[in-house]
Amino acid sequence: MTAQAARMKIIAPLLFCAALGAAHAEPPAANVLILVPSAGEVARDEQAARDLEERRQRMIAECEQNHGSELDCQRETDTELRAERLQSGGRVIRLRPPG
């Protein structure tokens, strides 16, 4: 087997896969809906983000007073806040359907 034949043996399946992927590519959607939040919604979201950050900082400071390790307290606080968000109906990205 020549060097060129060996390269073609490797390249041919890659080209086939590339062509197959291009054939299955879907055209972009013609009708796209873009949602623009109102000024009030933006202000509420910004205030909620500030409140959450202030609460996070208070939780970290309280944890450091009780336990001492800043890095551990940050991790613990972030884990606790994520758990609260999930329990209150926060968004969950699942890789597989539940069940």
- Give the tens place of pLDDT for each residue, 29-74: 667 778 888 889 899 999 999 999 999 999 999 999 988 788 889 9
User: Which pTM does this prediction carry?
Assistant: 0.53
CB-based contact 73:60 (threshold 8 Å): yes
Question: Exposure of 74 by Cβ count < 10 A (0-12 exposed, 13-18 middle, 19+ buried)?
Answer: middle
Residue-range definition of the domain harbouring residue 50:
36-99
**Residue 4 to residue 69: CA distance in whole angstroms:** 61
In a domain, 4, yes or no: no
Distance CA 84, CA 36 (A): 28
Question: Phi first, then psi: what are they for 89, rounded to 5°?
Answer: 95, 25
Structural domain total, the chain: 1
Has residue 65 been placed in a domain? yes
Task: Specify the pLDDT at position 25.
Answer: 53
Residue 14, domain member (yes or no): no
| Residue 66, in any domain of the structure | yes
In a domain, 89, yes or no: yes
